[in-house]
């Protein structure tokens, strides 16, 4: 009987631990917002020669981003070239940040004890509940914009991008997963999309 009880308890503990680990694993996957739009009349391919425009002189942040962007585009089949004249597309990128103060609330447990005497009878009563406490925290969003232009369109005087992509992520999630953020955004190349997604 004792063995059966111990076995039952161990089984429940294993299930509980597995459940907690699963929740932690899911919660560790950062959520980002992605928005893309395309020229509905344009035919997209991933084998184009792409020239990535880098400001002159670039900041260190832009230079580092350029290296990661180039690597991720090559993984998707694009050929990155150093001369805009031989490119099929020109890619412009921009980076931005926005900090906001966000107001929220959290609940704290409270316990109230009342005691007294009615006639010769003493009494003591404990009441539990919650109290709501307001608080404010700062949240910074890292913003990345990608704009693809068709070179032939530009030569013909059409300077409208054929595809635009945006990703917004919490600054800490972004800095830990820059390559994954870019990869996720590029995965929607040639599509219209807008939603929160996980990047892992």
**pLDDT at residue 23 in the model:** 36
**pLDDT at residue 106 in the model:** 67
Residue 100 has pLDDT above 90, yes or no: no
The residue range of the domain holding 61 is: 32-198
**pLDDT at residue 34 in the model:** 98
Tell me whether residue 14 is in a domain: no
**pLDDT at residue 136 in the model:** 73
Tell me whether residue 5 is in a domain: no
Share of the chain above pLDDT 90, in %: 62
Higher-pLDDT residue of 37, 138:
37
**pLDDT at residue 126 in the model:** 79
List the CATH number of the domain containing 101: 3.30.160
For residue range 54-83, what is the model confidence (pLDDT) as tens digits? Answer: 999 999 999 999 999 999 999 999 999 999
Tell me whether residue 131 is in a domain: yes
Tell me whether residue 21 is in a domain: no
For residue range 105-161, what is the model confidence (pLDDT) as tens digits? Answer: 667 777 777 777 777 777 777 778 777 777 675 779 999 999 999 999 999 999 999
Residue 25 has pLDDT above 70, yes or no: no
Tell me whether residue 159 is in a domain: yes
What's the structural domain count of the chain?
A: 1
Residue 30 has pLDDT above 50, yes or no: yes
What is the DSSP track for 22-48?
Answer: HHHHHHTS-EEEEEEEE-TTPPP-S--
Of 7-11, 100-104, 171-175, 188-192, the range with the lowest mean pLDDT is 7-11
User: To 10 degrees, what angle do helices 60-75 and 178-186 make?
Assistant: 50
Instruction: Tell me the whole-structure pTM to 2 decimals.
Output: 0.71
**Rounded to whole angstroms, how far apart are CA atoms 75 and 200?**
17
**pLDDT at residue 70 in the model:** 98
Tell me whether residue 130 is in a domain: yes
Tell me whether residue 25 is in a domain: no
| Average pLDDT value for residue range 167-184 | 96
**pLDDT at residue 113 in the model:** 79
Tell me whether residue 170 is in a domain: yes
Burial 151-180 (b: 16+ CB within 10 A, else e): bebeeeeeeebbbbbbbbbeeebbeebbeb
């Amino acid at each position: 009987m004792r063995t059966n009880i111990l076995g039952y308890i161990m089984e429940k503990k294993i299930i509980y631990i597995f459940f907690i680990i699963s929740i932690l694993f899911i919660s560790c996957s950062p959520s980002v917002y992605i928005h893309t739009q395309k020229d509905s009349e344009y035919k997209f391919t991933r084998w184009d020669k792409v020239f990535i425009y880098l400001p002159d002189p670039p900041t260190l942040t832009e230079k580092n981003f350029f290296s990661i962007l180039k690597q991720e585009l090559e993984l998707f089949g694009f050929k990155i070239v150093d001369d805009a004249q031989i490119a099929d597309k020109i890619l412009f990128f921009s980076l931005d940040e926005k900090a906001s103060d966000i107001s929220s609330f959290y609940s704290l447990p409270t316990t109230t004890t009342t005691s007294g005497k009615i006639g010769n009878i003493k009494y003591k009563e404990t009441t539990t509940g919650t109290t709501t406490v307001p608080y404010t925290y700062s949240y910074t969003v890292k913003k990345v914009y990608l704009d693809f232009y068709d070179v032939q369109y530009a030569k013909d005087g059409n300077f409208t991008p054929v595809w635009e992509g945006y990703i917004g992520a919490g600054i800490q999630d972004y800095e830990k997963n820059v390559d994954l953020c870019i990869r996720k955004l590029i995965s929607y190349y040639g599509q219209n999309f807008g939603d929160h997604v996980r990047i892992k």
